[in-house]
């Protein structure tokens, strides 16, 4: 065995298992009537479906409204062009006496079964924004298989993008003064990628640690109180199951906007991870923080989220005030423990952490 291609041909089961389980490559199998036979979870997420749309027309999900064509049309058009090109080449190479079967390819077949074709396709599922995805398509017996690369920006892509932008900055620094504005924009974009959560626009965990460390030092020097609140959206998995991942994302964005509006300029709001948010309130004791948490809790429970009709959104809150000499890790752990106590006591509550031992 001397090539990756040969290795993959010998292990088709591994490749198949990967395509079924992966969340980054969307796979969908379509029959001759353009109806979906099967798909993986990445396809469900890509098109914003609430479950596998088995039996539905693929045109309801992979459709270009501008061109008024679906992904099957594009693949068929590509294959027709390939077949026409193959016939022309065969006609040029064969003697005239052998041109009796002009509508056949050199190997006698009419179609390129198993041939993998790549093309870009723009589509807009109902209620979602326009996506442009690179698809790979193949005929397998009487079915069509489509593999689509995820359009979302993953962590490795962000790192790659940051590397490219750093390279751009190096080049811009060598240019004349008129390029300074472009240099500043590139720096700002890198800083935003490094410091913000790409979905909500809030500070990410790394940036929160940086900002909160400075806030803690200032509070200790000046002797004013400092509190943190750990917030976790209740029953978030059920929201994802009912409304799909796009629905869950809308809840996170709406909660982030509510927290941003409700805090002061000197406060720090971050997406801590998953459905968790962390707020640091400067010059605020536990009593003040509890009152703030109650206001946010009430606003959240009465909030309506776009395209999530009938959804009830609640969250559990854990409040902890910093004690003299307490480090940030210990403070956040106490807030997290208080939040889990709120969960155990029925959710949609604000609980205050116990004093450190």
How do residues 27-57 score in pLDDT, each as one tens digit? 889 998 999 999 988 888 888 888 899 999 9
SS3 96: helix
Residue 237 tokens, joined: 């998995």
CA dihedral sign, ordered 156, 158, 162, 168: positive
- For residues 157 and 25, the model is more confident at 25
Please write the tens of the pLDDT for every residue from 89-127: 777 776 544 443 333 433 333 444 555 677 777 776 665
Phi, psi angles (nearest 5°) of residue 231: -125, 130
Nearest to 215 by CA among 269, 160, 266, 288: 266
- pLDDT at position 125 is 65
CB neighbours of 154 closer than 8 A, spacing ≥ 6?
24
CB 301 within 8 A of CB 314: yes
Exposure string over 141-179, b if 16+ CB within 10 A, otherwise e: eeebbbbbbbeeeeeeeeeeeeeebeeebeebeeeeeee
Q: What percent of the chain stands above pLDDT 90?
A: 41
Token representation of residue 200: 């909500």
What pLDDT is recorded for position 176? 66
Q: In what order do the strands lie in the sheet with 36-39?
A: 36-39, 25-30, 143-149, 131-140, 117-123
Catalytic position from the list 98, 275, 276, 306: 275
What would the pLDDT profile of 291-350 be if each residue is shown by its tens digit?
999 999 999 988 888 878 778 899 999 999 999 989 999 999 999 999 999 999 999 999
- Report pLDDT for 47: 84
> Range with the lowest mean pLDDT among 168-182, 219-233, 325-339?
168-182
**pLDDT for the residue 279:** 97
Q: Is residue 275 annotated as a catalytic residue, yes or no? A: yes
């Amino acid at each position: 065995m001397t090539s990756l291609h040969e290795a993959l041909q010998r292990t088709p089961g591994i490749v198949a298992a990967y395509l079924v389980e992966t969340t980054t490559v969307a796979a969908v199998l379509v029959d001759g009537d353009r109806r979906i036979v099967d798909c993986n979870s990445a396809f469900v997420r890509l098109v914003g479906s609430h479950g596998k749309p088995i039996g539905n027309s693929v045109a309801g999900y992979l459709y270009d409204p501008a061109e008024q064509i679906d992904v099957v049309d594009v693949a068929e058009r590509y294959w027709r062009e390939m077949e026409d090109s193959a016939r022309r080449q065969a006609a040029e190479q064969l003697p005239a006496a052998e041109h009796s079967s002009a509508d056949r390819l050199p190997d006698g077949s009419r179609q390129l079964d198993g041939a993998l074709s790549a093309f870009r396709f723009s589509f807009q599922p109902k209620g979602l924004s326009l996506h442009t995805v690179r698809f790979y398509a193949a005929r397998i017996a009487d079915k069509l298989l489509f593999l689509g690369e995820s359009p979302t920006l993953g962590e490795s892509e962000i790192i790659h993008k940051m590397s490219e932008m750093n390279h751009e900055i190096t080049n811009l620094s060598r240019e004349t003064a008129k390029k300074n504005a472009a240099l500043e924009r590139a720096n700002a974009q890198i800083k935003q990628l490094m410091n913000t959560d790409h979905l909500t626009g809030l500070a990410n965990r790394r940036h929160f640690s940086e900002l909160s460390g400075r806030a803690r030092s200032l509070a200790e020097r000046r002797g004013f109180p400092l509190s943190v609140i750990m917030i976790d959206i209740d029953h978030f998995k059920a929201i994802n199951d009912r409304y799909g991942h796009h629905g869950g994302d809308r809840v996170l964005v709406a909660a982030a906007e509510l927290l941003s509006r409700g805090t002061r300029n000197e406060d720090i709001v971050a997406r801590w991870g998953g459905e968790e948010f962390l707020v640091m309130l400067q010059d605020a004791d536990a009593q003040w923080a509890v009152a703030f948490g109650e206001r946010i809790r009430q606003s959240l429970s009465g909030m309506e989220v776009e395209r999530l009709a009938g959804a009830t959104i609640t969250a559990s809150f854990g409040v902890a005030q910093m004690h003299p000499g307490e480090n940030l890790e210990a403070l956040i752990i106490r807030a997290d423990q208080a939040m889990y106590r709120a969960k155990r006591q029925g959710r949609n509550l604000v609980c205050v952490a116990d004093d450190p031992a």
